[in-house]
A and B are shown apart, each in its own frame.
Chain A
Amino acid sequence: MIACPPRFKFPWMLLGTLILPWVIEGLLGRGWVRILDFALLSVLLAIGLNIVVGYAGLLDLGFIAFFGVGAYAYALLASPQFGVHWPLWAILPTGILVAASFGVALGWPTLGLRGDYLAIVTMGFGEIIRVFLNNLTAPINITNGPQGITMIDALHLGTWSFARPHRLWGIPLPALVGTYYLFLLFVLLALFLSRRLEYSRIGRAWMAIREDEIAAASMGLDTRRLKLLAYALGAAFGGVSGGLFAGFQGFVSPESFTLQESVMILCMVVLGGMGNLRGVVAGALLLAFLPEVLRPLGGWQQHWFHRVLIDPSTLRLLLFGVTLVVLMRWRPEGLLPSRARAREWHTS
Chain B
Amino acid sequence: MVTFLQQVLNGLTLGCIYALVALGYTLVYGILELINFAHGDLVMIGALVSLSLVRALQDWGAPLPVALAGGLVGAMGVCVLVGVALERLAYRPLRHAPKLAPLITAIGMSMVLEQGSALIWGRGYRSFPDLGLTHSLTLGGVVISPLQGVIVLGSLSLLGGLLWLIQRSALGRAMRATAQNPVAAQLLGVDTERVITLAFVIGAALAAIAGLMVGAYYQVAHYTMGFMLGLKAFTAAVLGGIGNLSGAVLGGILLGLLEALGAGYLGDWTGNLFGSNYKDVFSFATLILVLLFHPSGLLGRHAPEKV
Contacts and interface: CB of A to CB of B under 8 A. Distances in A.
A121 interface: yes
B104 to A, nearest CB: 5
B62 interface: no
A125 interface: yes
A57 to B, nearest CB: 6
B104 A266 contact: yes
Contacts of A35: none
B35 interface: yes
Contacts of B227: 127, 259
B94 A328 contact: yes
Contact of A321 (B34, B101, B108, B307): B108
B227 to A, nearest CB: 7
Contacts of A131: 277-278, 280-281
A104 to B, nearest CB: 13
Given A124-B231, A135-B277, A325-B105, A348 B98 contact: yes
B111 A318 contact: yes
A332 B101 contact: yes
Given A114-B305, A120-B231, A109 B105 contact: no
A318 B112 contact: yes
Nearest to A269: B104
A272 to B, nearest CB: 14
B212 to A, nearest CB: 24
Contact of B228 (A112, A127, A260): A127
A344 B98 CA distance: 8
A91 interface: no
Nearest to B110: A321
Contacts of B111: 260, 263, 317-318, 320-321, 324
B292 interface: yes
Interface string B17-39: 00000000000000001110100
Contacts of A317: 111, 114-115
A138 interface: yes
A66 to B, nearest CB: 17
Contacts of B110: 321
B116 interface: yes
A237 to B, nearest CB: 20
Interface string B56-88: 000000000000000000000000000000000
Contacts of B280: 127-128, 131
Interface size class of A (residues with CB under 8 A): 35 or more
Given A113-B295, A131-B278, A329 B105 contact: yes
Contacts of B284: 124-125, 127-128
Contacts of A310: 119
Nearest to A315: B115
Given A128-B284, A317-B111, A325 B90 contact: yes
B177 interface: no
Contacts of B107: 61, 119, 123, 263, 266, 324
B96 interface: yes
A29 interface: no
B100 interface: yes
B239 to A, nearest CB: 13
Interface in A176-226: 214
A322 interface: yes
Contacts of A320: 108, 111
B118 interface: yes
B222 to A, nearest CB: 14
Contacts of B288: 109, 121
B100 A53 contact: yes
Contacts of A138: 273
A121 B111 CA distance: 18
A59 to B, nearest CB: 5
A32 interface: no
Interface string B266-307: 000000010001101100100110011001000000000101
Contacts of A109: 288, 291-292
A59 B231 contact: no
Given A131-B278, A324-B108, A115 B99 contact: yes
A292 interface: no
A310 to B, nearest CB: 6
Interface string A248-290: 0000000000011001001000100000000000000000000
A319 B110 CA distance: 12
Nearest to B288: A109
A213 to B, nearest CB: 8
Contact of A322 (B96, B99, B112): B112
B143 interface: no
B162 interface: no
Nearest to B231: A124
A260 B112 CA distance: 11
Interface in A23-49: none
B188 interface: no
A123 B302 CA distance: 24
A170 interface: no
Contacts of B114: 317
A345 B102 CA distance: 13
Contacts of A259: 227
Given A123-B231, A321-B112, A324-B105, A314 B119 contact: yes
15 contacts: A115-B103, A120-B287, A123-B37, A123-B107, A124-B231, A124-B287, A128-B280, A131-B278, A135-B278, A321-B110, A325-B108, A328-B94, A328-B104, A332-B101, A344-B98
Given A110-B291, A128-B281, A348-B97, 17 more contacts: A112-B295, A114-B305, A115-B100, A116-B103, A117-B291, A119-B35, A120-B287, A124-B284, A125-B284, A128-B280, A128-B284, A138-B273, A321-B110, A321-B112, A325-B112, A329-B93, A332-B101
Closest 10 CB pairs of A and B: A324-B108, A321-B111, A321-B112, A109-B291, A325-B108, A318-B115, A109-B292, A321-B108, A328-B105, A317-B115
